[in-house]
Amino acid sequence: MEIVNLTIHNWFLFALIFSTVIFYANENIPMELTALGVIASLLLFFQILPLVDEAGINQLPANTIISGFANPALITVLALLIIGQGVTKSGILTLLSRHLLSISMGKLWLAMLISLLAVLCISALMNNIPVVIIFIPIIQTIAQRFHVPASKLLMPLSFIAVVGGMTTLVGSGTNLLVSQVLEDSGNTALSFFEFTLPGLVLALTGLAYVMIVAPRLLPNRTNLSHRMRERSESYFLAELDITGDSQLVGKSLRVDLFEELSGPSVRMLHRLGKTILPPFTGIKLREGDVIALSSTRAQLSGLMASDPGLTLSSSFTANSQTDETSDQMIVEMMVTPLSSLAGQTIKQSHFEQRHGCEVLGFQHHAKMYRSRLDRAKLSPGDMLLVKCDSETLKNLRDDLDVVLVEFSIEELPNWSVANRAIFIFLGVVLSAAFDIVPILISSLTGALAMVALNVINLQQAARSLDLKIVTTIAAALALGEAMAVTGTAQSIASLILSLTGQSSPSLILSAFFLTVAVMSNLISTKTCAVLFAPIGIQIAHTIGIDPRIFAITIIFAANCAFATPFAYQTSLLVMGPGSYKFKDFFKVGAPLVLLIWVVYSLFIPWFYGL
């Protein structure tokens, strides 16, 4: 089959898809902006050069291009996000995870195996983002208890949450989208457990990999909080202003400037808008300088008492309610994917004033911030080191903008809310699993029940609706529709078939899987799935096998976004706490992609009798 008669519409879509991949891969451009740009480009192009049939009817009118915003799969994904928020808010999963941890019998491998098995099972039934948020503190606790860096444990958490989502229809929004495309093409939608068995084979392959192979590849790297506690459990980063009365004015700056206090070390110097890092050769301190140092609270208090010319930096205006004489603690917080803090500096967000706490340190994607703290713009996955008292900590635990990375207080779930949340969640899953009602109806009803029964309020429900998910899915659906109508999907299918030659269906499936898996690491998994779904269906019709096999292949392949940190949100969530770099994901994730591809290529042809 050859690619012939390519029209200007085909070439436009090829260029748009290529550009979309480039922009999605660029971390400096928000995915929401790229997605809306895709929709706008499609609207503008097909308005100027409409695709008309023999009767003169436009095949891609504006209402068709933007119909993705009302797509049943998208609405289902958003409803499931609200349900997941309700289950998370009830606290029941936190209690469950701690009980699982308590039976580890003091063995690191058993604690990790139990935790990851729990993640695999839970992520099969609910969105994996809240699952990862819940289990990050659990894995951090395991790391501390067994004295290993969190970098050895957190990436496996993200990977297992993703492979767990491969096992049922609701395990991932990607699965629902592919099923919807399959239904829109004239086929029956995938059932709840249709691909559970092959999904479990791939998921258990991933589990074996992260338990046996990944620990040998993962970096031995500590995070911000761990580094500050290497000598004491209470080390933190602070900024001090040097006034004219300080005894330090005129002294030479060095890392161990306060060696008589046996602890504080100078990390950086801020002078006239510039940040100076060690070594501080030939630098003498001046009035107006700001030094950033790591110190315990006691050492800091002693330092300021001995030198009245040193004051806490005025970078932020901390809430005066913070009582220095009360039971203060240092806790580590992570900015959540739906946080209103994203894109703002700490000062702009008024985070300290709202909670009566003090931000002492900041970490962006595993790197310590090297400038003034008040200039740090926050992103999902960033870490904040916060000083607060126990009452403030309780309020912070309820703030959807942040999540505690390390437990400081013990909390039990609110059983009146937890019982309702469990009842609603099980009702949604079971009604969909046994085909009592379609998943769209059960999920929408469940989301409404979460709010109506006061498990969560309207604001919390609204905050769980991720704009990135809405825009990227709508853009992917618009591109997929345009590819199907213009014949672009058929052209790409022809190209793939021409490259595979007269190969058997099993080899074509294997090559198709690898193509989708590679692309899923360059763009978002949901976008990749929707773009390749019509292509896979077209290939299936051409070679004469069931399109459902290709649809399931796309689900498995698109979820293999392990080799880069930006293709899946769970990777971004663990990037900061685990102090990971881009190369870490490629080093550990790329072999997992190849391993799952090999297992898929061997198992699926036998399973489907190809």
CA distances in angstroms from 391 to 13, 261, 316, 329, 336, listed in the order given: 55, 31, 21, 11, 21
> With 80 as the cut, is the pLDDT of residue 474 above it?
yes
- Whether 152 is in a domain gets the answer yes
> With 70 as the cut, is the pLDDT of residue 222 above it?
no
Split into its structural domains, the chain has a count of: 3
pLDDT at position 548 is 93
- Whether 116 is in a domain gets the answer yes
- Amino acid, res. 218: L
> With 90 as the cut, is the pLDDT of residue 352 above it?
no
Q: Are residues 174 and 103 in the same domain?
A: yes
> With 70 as the cut, is the pLDDT of residue 583 above it?
yes
pLDDT at position 166 is 92
CA distances in angstroms from 341 to 33, 35, 320, 386, 571, listed in the order given: 18, 22, 21, 15, 19
Q: How confident is the model at residue 415 (pLDDT cuts 50, 70, 90)?
A: low
Q: Are residues 98 and 119 in the same domain?
A: yes
- Whether 203 is in a domain gets the answer yes
Answer with the residue of higher pLDDT: 227 or 493.
Answer: 493
> With 80 as the cut, is the pLDDT of residue 273 above it?
no
Lowest mean pLDDT among 164-178, 226-240, 242-256, 546-560: 226-240
Q: Are residues 115 and 206 in the same domain?
A: yes
Q: Are residues 352 and 389 in the same domain?
A: yes
Domain final residue, candidates 422, 440, 466:
466
Q: Which range, 136-140, 435-439, 509-513, has the best average confidence (pLDDT)? A: 509-513
Q: Are residues 287 and 174 in the same domain?
A: no
Q: How confident is the model at residue 590 (pLDDT cuts 50, 70, 90)?
A: very high
Q: Are residues 297 and 348 in the same domain?
A: no
- Amino acid, res. 292: A
Do 318 and 358 touch, CB atoms closer than 8 A? yes
Tens-digit pLDDT profile for residues 88-146: 777 676 666 666 666 766 788 888 998 899 899 988 887 777 788 778 777 877 887 78
- Whether 119 is in a domain gets the answer yes
> With 90 as the cut, is the pLDDT of residue 593 above it?
yes
What Rg do the C-alpha atoms of the chain give, in angstroms? Answer: 26
Which candidate, 114, 138, 213, 107, places its Cα nearest to that of 577? 138
- Whether 577 is in a domain gets the answer no
Average model confidence (pLDDT) for the chain?
78
CA distances in angstroms from 573 to 128, 141, 322, 334, 553, listed in the order given: 11, 17, 29, 8, 27
pTM of the model: 0.64
Q: Are residues 340 and 203 in the same domain?
A: no
Please compute the mean of the pLDDT values over residues 452-478 and round it to a whole number.
81
Q: Which range, 403-417, 454-468, 501-515, has the best average confidence (pLDDT)? A: 501-515
Which candidate, 85, 86, 88, 117, places its Cα nearest to that of 101? 117
pLDDT at position 312 is 63
Q: Are residues 262 and 389 in the same domain?
A: no
Q: Are residues 157 and 99 in the same domain?
A: yes
Please compute the mean of the pLDDT values over residues 261-276 and round it to a whole number.
74
- Whether 459 is in a domain gets the answer yes
Q: How confident is the model at residue 232 (pLDDT cuts 50, 70, 90)?
A: very low
pLDDT at position 299 is 67
Tens-digit pLDDT profile for residues 297-322: 556 656 766 677 777 665 544 444 44
240 beta partners: 291, 312
H or E element: which one contains 501? none
d(CA 264, CA 557): 50
Please compute the mean of the pLDDT values over residues 230-254 and round it to a whole number.
70
Domain with 394, as residue range(s), is 328-358+372-404
361 beta partners: 385
pLDDT at position 324 is 43
Which candidate, 264, 261, 389, 386, places its Cα nearest to that of 325? 389
Q: How confident is the model at residue 330 (pLDDT cuts 50, 70, 90)?
A: low
Q: How confident is the model at residue 594 (pLDDT cuts 50, 70, 90)?
A: very high
pLDDT at position 412 is 46
Q: Are residues 288 and 219 in the same domain?
A: no
> With 80 as the cut, is the pLDDT of residue 473 above it?
no
pLDDT at position 528 is 80
Q: Are residues 143 and 121 in the same domain?
A: yes
CA distances in angstroms from 400 to 251, 363, 519, listed in the order given: 45, 19, 32
- Whether 422 is in a domain gets the answer yes
- Whether 157 is in a domain gets the answer yes
Q: Read off the CATH number of the domain in which 394 is found.
A: 3.30.70
Please compute the mean of the pLDDT values over residues 368-384 and round it to a whole number.
69
Which candidate, 96, 84, 193, places its Cα nearest to that of 424? 84
Answer with the residue of higher pLDDT: 163 or 428.
Answer: 163
Please compute the mean of the pLDDT values over residues 554-564 and round it to a whole number.
90
What percentage of the chain reaches a pLDDT higher than 70? 80
> With 50 as the cut, is the pLDDT of residue 466 above it?
yes
> With 70 as the cut, is the pLDDT of residue 237 above it?
no
Q: Are residues 210 and 123 in the same domain?
A: yes
pLDDT at position 326 is 45
Tens-digit pLDDT profile for residues 540-551: 888 888 999 999
Please compute the mean of the pLDDT values over residues 346-350 and round it to a whole number.
80
Do 141 and 407 touch, CB atoms closer than 8 A? yes
Answer with the residue of higher pLDDT: 266 or 212.
Answer: 212
